[in-house]
């Protein structure tokens, strides 16, 4: 049910933070093999493990789960709005025109 996407997000965030699988496994108190199984979507972490993972990666659980949550559009839109805030006025105008074309 999309758990491989959760694993992929965990791996992406792990790499972004510069952790090797071994260092990350040590920080979250898991075996290297178990972390690999989570990242490949073969295993689903418990709630407690997911919290440890999110804390070590310094991301929210929403960031890790957004592809499997039913309410993921709210999360995605919030992420888009965060990115839009950093755009220039010209970039915002281009984006607005593109969105209006899609809606039409």
Look at residue 71 and tell me whether its pLDDT is greater than 90. Answer: no
Residue 79 and residue 57 in one domain: no
Within this chain, do residues 8 and 56 fall inside the same structural domain, yes or no?
Answer: yes
Is residue 8 domain-shared with residue 54, that is, in the same domain?
A: yes
Q: What is the per-residue pLDDT for 28?
A: 97
Tally of domains in the chain? 2
**Residue 94 is part of which domain span?**
72-103
Domain identity same for 41 and 79: no
Span 75-84, pLDDT tens digits: 667 777 888 9
The set of residues, in sequence order, having a beta carbon less than 8 Å from that of 32 and lying 6+ positions away, is: 21, 22, 25
Mean pLDDT of 68-74: 64
Q: What is the pTM of this model?
A: 0.67
Q: How many CB atoms lie within 10 A of CB 37?
A: 16
Do 61 and 76 reside in the same domain of the chain?
no
Least confident of 11-25, 55-69, 85-99: 55-69
* Claim to verify: residue 19 and residue 45 sit in the same structural domain: yes
Does residue 77 share a domain with residue 59? no
10-54: per-residue pLDDT in tens?
999 999 999 999 999 999 999 999 999 999 999 999 999 999 999
50 and 21 both lie in a single domain: yes
Same domain, 82 and 55: no
Q: What is the CATH number of the domain that holds 26?
A: 1.10.260.40
CB 6 within 8 A of CB 67: yes
């Amino acid at each position: 049910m999309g758990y491989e996407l959760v694993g992929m997000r965990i791996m992406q965030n792990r790499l972004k933070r510069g952790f090797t699988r071994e260092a990350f496994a040590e920080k979250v108190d898991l075996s290297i093999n178990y972390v690999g199984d989570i990242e490949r979507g073969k295993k689903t972490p418990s709630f407690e493990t997911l919290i440890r993972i999110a804390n070590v990666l310094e991301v929210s659980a929403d960031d890790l789960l957004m592809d499997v949550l039913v309410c993921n559009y709210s999360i995605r839109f919030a992420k888009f709005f965060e990115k839009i805030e950093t755009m220039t006025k010209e970039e915002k105008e281009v984006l607005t025109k593109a969105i209006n074309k899609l809606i039409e």
